Structure 1
Amino acid sequence: MATSKKKKRNTKKLILQIIGGIVIAAALMLVLGLGMFIYYAWKAPSFNESSLRDQLPTKIYDKNDNLATVLYMGQKRESVKFADIPDQMRDAVLATEDNRFYEHGALDFKRLTGAVFKNITGGFGSQGASTLTQQVVKRSFLTDKKSIERKAQEAYLSYRLEQEYGKNDIFEMYMNKIYYSDGIYGIKTAADYYFNKDLNELTLAESAYLAGLPQIPNAYNIYDHPEAAEKRKDTVLYLMNRHNRITKEEMEKAQNEDLTANLVERTTADRQNIEQNDERYASYVNVIKDEIKNNKEFKGKSINDILTSGLSIYTNMDMNAQQTLQNNVDNLNIYKNKYNQTGVTILDTKTGGLAAISGGRNYKDVVDRNQATDAHAVGSTIKPILSYGPIIENKKWPTDHKIQDESEYDINGNKFRNYDTQSHGIVTMRDALRKSYNVPALKTFQVMKNDSTDASYNFAKDLGLKFPTKDLGPAEALGGGAAEFSTKQMAAAFSAFGNNGQYNEATAIRKIVTQDDETIKFTRKSEKVMEDYTAYMITDMLKDVFEPYGSGYGTGIPGLNMAGKTGTTTYADETYQEYNLPDSAAKDVWINGYTPQYTVSVWMGFTKIAENGENSFVGHDEQILPQILYKNVMTEISTIDGKDFDKPASVTDIGTELKVTGTNPDNSITTDPNKPSIEYPTNTTEAVRSSNERAASSAKQTEQEAVTTEQAAKEAVTTEKVTTERTTTEKATTEKPTTETKMEQRTTETTTEVPTTELTPNEQAAKDLKAASDKAAAELKAASEKAAADLKAARERAARGQ
């Protein structure tokens, strides 16, 4: 008996202990929660009237943290007083957003309780219970980030707001602050924008639509989603009837009303916010928006809401470069007509930071396509990336590696030619690149393709240029395949050559600081993608592009060490025929150049094709237009200090040429990658070989001097012509026939054929070289005096036309 009583006492004691523990735990939780609430409230943004009344603009800072521009994002709007808001509109808003607004305090605990249960099953933030007061606070002081801290601050600031202002004042703030899509803020502006009416002129259906639009503005935008807009209107009318704000008859009548009856007709351009804060920065702002959209911290948020939340955006912008670039793009007198467009990207060569960008002439964000980030066919600018870069990286070819050029080169039945349809004999890799010959580039590409199918693809991919397939063909090697790239991508790729092989993704934003001092960092890809010897040797060869006989001659800037590559693309044969285009008409023209300080990529093209080459780059003078813009901008923004690219220890001089340190390059001539190459002897016939080489050199010089006056002038400031056609088939990418090809540099040089007799390779080479020497000697006496005079006159004219 005593034992039983003892057990009962112990059980009772245990129950009391459990209850006491629960009470204590609850008290501790309450104290802890109260403490956290006080702490978060203490950290809340300052309560001020200016934030309540106005949207917060975004400030954009340059690379030195200097304020560049401020974005207002269409906030210059009409406001409305509470007394001027019709009862019909008030009822629609209250029924939709907060029917008990005038009955509860800062928080609606009845709605909150229901939302809590739904959040338990659906996860935190899955169901909201925000009052109009809370929505005003959130849009004025806080971000959309769902967290306990933000909710605590929202509750505290809502309480403060209702202590400072009356319900009507808060309702007025809400109606002026809310977003209505298409860059429109405030109910009065929305009524005028959508229906060209004052608030008191709106029908019940129109009022219901505008009251329901702010919940998901872009999804309910009637211009983009008319069916969703009608359903949203019907939902608001239902809620108005449910809350006894309209009768059933009024609801049904309004639900049958067609919203488009009084809708203002607007084009896409009309609907955009074309009011520019500062047009010099419009292209840069466009890139900023794209980077924000792609950042996970802003996923699912409206860009308009983001940029009106008081952000401070710290960028890589060089203000001087940005202003200089857009000024030149807008005002330099270099364009053929109004359809002639351009896109330009300027990067910091060392960091890859986006120093400046121009999306086109008089560019307006959103309305205009950003030509700097749009993709275009790149032409011969791809040759260092798909042919010569990979061959140096993997095969360690020296810059004087010899390649057998041909007037016509067959790849699987497709015929390819140089821009001038001529063979230039045996050329060095340096000459082939700076003069942009097609056949040597293709042969080099084929060597890598035969050695490793993916070598060129991977080299390009590491530079940010991803082709749709790894099985690249000759069309891609000449920049006329299906793949296209933007100036932003090409600038990033070329900057790696000037940065010792270190690739940096081109980015605009360094970090963003929110209104509540939260820092959001932006990352970028940065990695070593090639050996420093590859980067330097490509750079050294590309420096010659700006020297005499280079494709960019005339674009060089005294005192500025600069490397670069020009590019030109043509149309498909049927386009020439359809539009009666002259043979010398080109579609896209490029120049990608870099110094140790800046990398600049310039593309030019037209917005549409026209008859007779009206909207084409016809002839040499028009095809160098991007070079004029490039030179002007680079001259204005660069520090002219003679600084050169750093030569790494992995590169060794061999006379005026370069080789990879530690290698012993042979003197093989690359002929056809699928056939044996000719190798010069290294034994007692060395003296004979040297003699023959000197004879060949004399022949080559004679032919160079014997070019006509017109051809010499073209050589002085020539740009290469990539005559590959932009289609996805290799057959369609072959050069235009000889009779239709544009002559841009010199006439043919002596062609050394692969021997087909029974002579040994050494004997055949000696025979061919001797024949060339004899021919040159016979022509020298008759041609030299005339050639010298013609060449001098041509160069003088070319110099005047630079």
Structure 2
Amino acid sequence: MDERTRRRLKLEELPPGGRRRRSSQHAGRRRVFLRWLRIVLIVGVLLLTGIVAATVGAVFAVARNLPSLDELTRHDTALTSFIYDRNGKMIASLHGAENRVNVDSKDIAEVMKKATVAIEDERFYEHHGVDIEGLVRAVLVDIKAGSLVQGASSITQQFIRNAYISQERTFSRKIREMVLAWQLEDRWSKDEILTAYLNTIYYGASSYGVQAAAQTYFHKTAKALTLPEAALLAGIANAPSYYDPINQPDIAKKRRDLVLSSMLSQNLITQVEYAEATALPIEVFKKPPAAKQKSSGYFVDYVTQHLINTLGANTVYQGGLKVYTSLDLKWQTAATNAVMRALPDANDPIAALVAIDPKTGYIRAMVGGRNAEKQKFNVAWQGGNQLGSAAKTFALTAAIEQGADPRKTFYKDENVTVSLPGYGSYPVRGEGFGRIDLMKATAYSVNAVYAQLAADVGPQNLIEMMHRMGFTSDLAPVLSAVLGTNDVTTLETASAYATLASGGIYRKPQAILRIVLPDGTEYYKAKVKSKRVISDGVAYWVTQALKGVITGGTAYPNGFIGRPAAGKTGTTDNHADAWFCGYTPQLATAVWMGYAKENTPMGLIHGRVAWGGEWSTIIWATFMKAAHAGLPIKDFPRPTTPPVWRQWDRKYSRSASPSPSPSPSPSASKTKKPSPGPTTTSPKPSPTPSSPSPTPSSPPPTPTESPSGGILNWWPWVAWLFGS
């Protein structure tokens, strides 16, 4: 007998009155239950109504005070700036903590867009900025899980949050985000919204936006991304640190495969594509591509500093500028190679090289040391060095302008102490040339002759000429200035020699040609300003004298480049500085060589004495040959305004001698420092250049050794140099 039957029989055994009382009690309890149930339902409905009313009221309150999208200012996002060479090749990127590069939709791979939509907002193309269905689904999932496990923000909402409003986690912010997302969908196409979103989100490793991320992880553009690469980027954007593909590749692979699975389930890829992509390991670069082309590091630093001085660091590193420069990357590489080939060892001296287009003043190449990453100091423009005998060029220029014909103006090379009222005296040792004209004295770089010439020209006139032709440093007008005792930079020296190459027209050195803002507006465009500072006749005859330096003087044979060229060597005391500054009609280049520590003697470098006619000239010639490859061979044009020659009857000058001058061994002239004392010299070649000296089409024959020693008689020179 079951329990129900026993209860029924027990109830039947009760008398009629007992049964009525039991039924009445049961009915009473039911009425009480129903009464309380009604109360609970009424209270619940009231509470729900209140909550809904409060929510709606809050929404309306927030929405009523919410500015429209037009009234909001989009957040300033840091954009990476780029520097390009003259041909549009990117040579550097500049950014701060955020590396962000905006790109157009056409420059983003379609597979990247599909992967992002698949994992972030699969109903992106169906909703109007707010995915109500997705929102409800996310809430139910979160309730079931008991925690926030599924996001509810659409791609449009995420973009609004990143671009227009704060990141605070409040109810009012969420409402504001939804309303603005709805507004944005009324104005922008889906592709515009997706592109903007992909340009703003963070992918880790300081990379903001898909272009920066593609370059950082894969060293390629966003347009070139493959399916597995795009899936990886789309996956790590949710939590870049956790899904870091560099430090946590296994976790990153699981996330990437989840994205691929989502793409497969949404029919965005085929089963074959899915299988092939998931089979691949995570392959990313551990470091982003170099911010600078290795060979152009010093030039980039020079340009960057000028940009900062003009625009400020924030604009330079966060303004998304496109800076087009005068650099020729091919020539820059040739310049770097020329230096490294001559001075390959870490303990070798360093060298600086600057090449300038004389027709524009545009800087085509700049080397400022051995390694821009390790040696930040740019010797080419930040540090000054004594110019040595390369300063003689400007004394010659001043003399020719004053009427001295270099073919017919003579001085006597002898031990002499030059003096001038107000300037004191300056002793210089002769080298045994006797009476010699300025053409030969220039080719052989005769100190005693030029010390006398500078006194006759006037130290103040020499310094004025140097400033006129391109030097900007403070220069002391002293008697020793002609021998290069003032400190100057390689950049300003190249500029001054470019003035000669251009026929006497000075053009300020320029490195920046154009600056373009992120919206395409041209902010700056360079203008070439030309100023004639000496006549073309003066420049022409200085050039003819400097040709002799290469064809048979201190730069022979190392300076020969197979085309018309002119230049001047320079060496200072103890061989601490060695220069060669030379030019063709198409390019002017100055090369300095020395140790970073000032006044450190160089001695022998790879078996060669480090004076101006050796390694500096070799570096110059190596670079100039490479830079001129493919350029037409041009000679310097004859002047339209010849100089006016005058009788040069000055304190130290000598009239022309009918008898030939003796041919002693000239010296690699070195420059003493401003303090008085005898000037030391060292033997050097003794060929006799012509006046003017034409440039041969092939290297001239080696001069024969003179009785007193010549270009082949090196041992006495080396013995003297090292005191043996």
TM-score range, shorter chain: 0.5 to 0.7
Deviation at 1:397, TM superposition (A): 3.9
**How far apart are the structure 1 equivalents of 2:626 and 2:201?**
52
Deviation at 1:354, TM superposition (A): 0.9
**How far apart are the structure 1 equivalents of 2:556 and 2:387?**
20
Structure 1 position 537 matched with structure 2 position 541: yes
Cα distance change, pair 567–73 in 1 and its aligned pair in 2 (3 A): same
**How far apart are the structure 1 equivalents of 2:484 and 2:490?**
14
Query: 2:84 aligns to what?
Result: 61
Query: 1:515 aligns to what?
Result: 518
Query: 1:251 aligns to what?
Result: none
Helix, strand or coil at the partner of 1:381: helix
Structure 1 position 279 matched with structure 2 position 288: no
Letter in 2 for 1:588: D
Cα displacement string for residues 359-383 of structure 1 (whole angstroms, at most 9, x for unaligned residues): 222332x852112223221111112
Query: 1:472 aligns to what?
Result: 477
Helix, strand or coil at the partner of 2:669: coil
Counterpart pick for 1:630 among 620, 627, 651: 620
Alignment of 1:121-160 (within 5 A): none
Deviation at 1:101, TM superposition (A): 7.2
Cα distance change, pair 367–74 in 1 and its aligned pair in 2 (3 A): farther
Question: Conserved in 2, the CA contact under 8 Å of 1:359 and 1:369?
Answer: yes
Query: 1:774 aligns to what?
Result: none
Question: Conserved in 2, the CA contact under 8 Å of 1:399 and 1:537?
Answer: no
**How far apart are the structure 2 equivalents of 1:156 and 1:592?**
62
Deviation at 1:425, TM superposition (A): 2.3
**How far apart are the structure 1 equivalents of 2:515 and 2:443?**
43
**How far apart are the structure 2 equivalents of 1:291 and 1:506?**
13
Cα distance change, pair 175–106 in 1 and its aligned pair in 2 (3 A): farther
Cα displacement string for residues 438-470 of structure 1 (whole angstroms, at most 9, x for unaligned residues): 222222222232xxx74333322222313536x
Query: 1:498 aligns to what?
Result: 501
RMSD over aligned Cα atoms: 5.0
Letter in 1 for 2:317: N
Question: Conserved in 2, the CA contact under 8 Å of 1:402 and 1:670?
Answer: no
Deviation at 1:326, TM superposition (A): 1.5
Counterpart pick for 1:436 among 445, 455, 460: 445
Counterpart pick for 2:572 among 569, 584, 607: 569
Deviation at 1:422, TM superposition (A): 2.8
Query: 1:783 aligns to what?
Result: none
Question: Conserved in 2, the CA contact under 8 Å of 1:587 and 1:616?
Answer: no
Letter in 2 for 1:402: F
Cα displacement string for residues 112-136 of structure 1 (whole angstroms, at most 9, x for unaligned residues): xxxxxxxxxxxxxxxxxxx9xx9xx
Query: 2:590 aligns to what?
Result: 601
Helix, strand or coil at the partner of 1:284: helix
**How far apart are the structure 2 equivalents of 1:643 and 1:797?**
35
Question: Conserved in 1, the CA contact under 8 Å of 2:426 and 2:677?
Answer: yes
Question: Conserved in 1, the CA contact under 8 Å of 2:418 and 2:451?
Answer: no
Counterpart pick for 2:339 among 323, 329, 333: 329
Letter in 2 for 1:443: Q
Structure 1 position 735 matched with structure 2 position 640: no
Structure 1 position 590 matched with structure 2 position 579: yes
**How far apart are the structure 1 equivalents of 2:90 and 2:686?**
49
Helix, strand or coil at the partner of 1:313: strand
Structure 1 position 644 matched with structure 2 position 635: yes
Helix, strand or coil at the partner of 1:538: helix
Cα distance change, pair 171–604 in 1 and its aligned pair in 2 (3 A): closer
Cα displacement string for residues 769-798 of structure 1 (whole angstroms, at most 9, x for unaligned residues): xxxxxxxxxxxxxxxxxx977669965788
Letter in 2 for 1:465: F
Letter in 2 for 1:455: N
Question: Conserved in 1, the CA contact under 8 Å of 2:704 and 2:711?
Answer: no
Question: Conserved in 1, the CA contact under 8 Å of 2:428 and 2:451?
Answer: no
Letter in 2 for 1:293: I
Query: 1:416 aligns to what?
Result: 427
Question: Conserved in 2, the CA contact under 8 Å of 1:403 and 1:670?
Answer: no
Query: 2:220 aligns to what?
Result: none
Deviation at 1:70, TM superposition (A): 4.7
**How far apart are the structure 2 equivalents of 1:465 and 1:517?**
36
Deviation at 1:518, TM superposition (A): 1.5
Cα distance change, pair 274–369 in 1 and its aligned pair in 2 (3 A): farther
Question: Conserved in 2, the CA contact under 8 Å of 1:343 and 1:360?
Answer: yes
Query: 1:341 aligns to what?
Result: 350
Cα distance change, pair 645–588 in 1 and its aligned pair in 2 (3 A): same
**How far apart are the structure 2 equivalents of 1:529 and 1:435?**
27
Deviation at 1:544, TM superposition (A): 0.6
Helix, strand or coil at the partner of 1:373: coil
Counterpart pick for 2:314 among 301, 305, 315: 301
Query: 2:368 aligns to what?
Result: 359
Question: Conserved in 2, the CA contact under 8 Å of 1:480 and 1:724?
Answer: yes
Question: Conserved in 1, the CA contact under 8 Å of 2:81 and 2:322?
Answer: yes
Deviation at 1:342, TM superposition (A): 0.5
Cα displacement string for residues 750-787 of structure 1 (whole angstroms, at most 9, x for unaligned residues): xxxxxxxxxxxxxxxxxxxxxxxxxxxxxxxxxxxxx9
Counterpart pick for 2:554 among 545, 551, 555: 551
Structure 1 position 318 matched with structure 2 position 333: no
**How far apart are the structure 1 equivalents of 2:91 and 2:367?**
16
**How far apart are the structure 1 equivalents of 2:300 and 2:501?**
27
Structure 1 position 724 matched with structure 2 position 724: no
Counterpart pick for 1:390 among 380, 391, 398: 398
Deviation at 1:505, TM superposition (A): 1.5
Identity of aligned residues (%): 20
Letter in 2 for 1:350: K
Question: Conserved in 1, the CA contact under 8 Å of 2:411 and 2:654?
Answer: no
Cα distance change, pair 335–792 in 1 and its aligned pair in 2 (3 A): farther
Cα distance change, pair 282–587 in 1 and its aligned pair in 2 (3 A): same
Deviation at 1:592, TM superposition (A): 0.4
**How far apart are the structure 2 equivalents of 1:669 and 1:617?**
46
Cα distance change, pair 169–525 in 1 and its aligned pair in 2 (3 A): closer
Alignment of 1:33-44 (within 5 A): none
Query: Normalized against structure 1, the TM-score is what?
Result: 0.52
Alignment of 1:751-790 (within 5 A): none
**How far apart are the structure 1 equivalents of 2:685 and 2:500?**
27
Of 523-532 and 585-594, more deviation after overlay is shown by: 523-532
Unaligned runs of 5+ in 2: 1-66, 101-118, 121-147, 150-161, 209-239, 243-287, 688-702, 715-724
**How far apart are the structure 2 equivalents of 1:367 and 1:98?**
43
Question: Conserved in 2, the CA contact under 8 Å of 1:381 and 1:566?
Answer: yes
Question: Conserved in 1, the CA contact under 8 Å of 2:96 and 2:318?
Answer: no
Query: 1:457 aligns to what?
Result: 463
Cα distance change, pair 373–441 in 1 and its aligned pair in 2 (3 A): same
Letter in 2 for 1:553: Y
> Paired residues, what number?
488
Letter in 1 for 2:593: M
Cα distance change, pair 615–733 in 1 and its aligned pair in 2 (3 A): farther
**How far apart are the structure 2 equivalents of 1:521 and 1:107?**
47
Cα distance change, pair 169–462 in 1 and its aligned pair in 2 (3 A): closer
Structure 1 position 404 matched with structure 2 position 412: yes
Helix, strand or coil at the partner of 2:571: strand
Deviation at 1:635, TM superposition (A): 1.3
Query: 1:233 aligns to what?
Result: none
Deviation at 1:436, TM superposition (A): 1.4
**How far apart are the structure 1 equivalents of 2:606 and 2:205?**
52
Cα displacement string for residues 584-614 of structure 1 (whole angstroms, at most 9, x for unaligned residues): x310100000001111110000123799867
**How far apart are the structure 1 equivalents of 2:651 and 2:608?**
32
Question: Conserved in 2, the CA contact under 8 Å of 1:341 and 1:361?
Answer: yes
Deviation at 1:517, TM superposition (A): 0.9
Helix, strand or coil at the partner of 2:386: coil
Cα displacement string for residues 677-697 of structure 1 (whole angstroms, at most 9, x for unaligned residues): 6668xxxxxxxxxxxx44x21
**Rg bigger for which structure?**
2
Cα distance change, pair 448–789 in 1 and its aligned pair in 2 (3 A): closer
Alignment of 1:92-111 (within 5 A): 102=170
Cα distance change, pair 414–678 in 1 and its aligned pair in 2 (3 A): closer
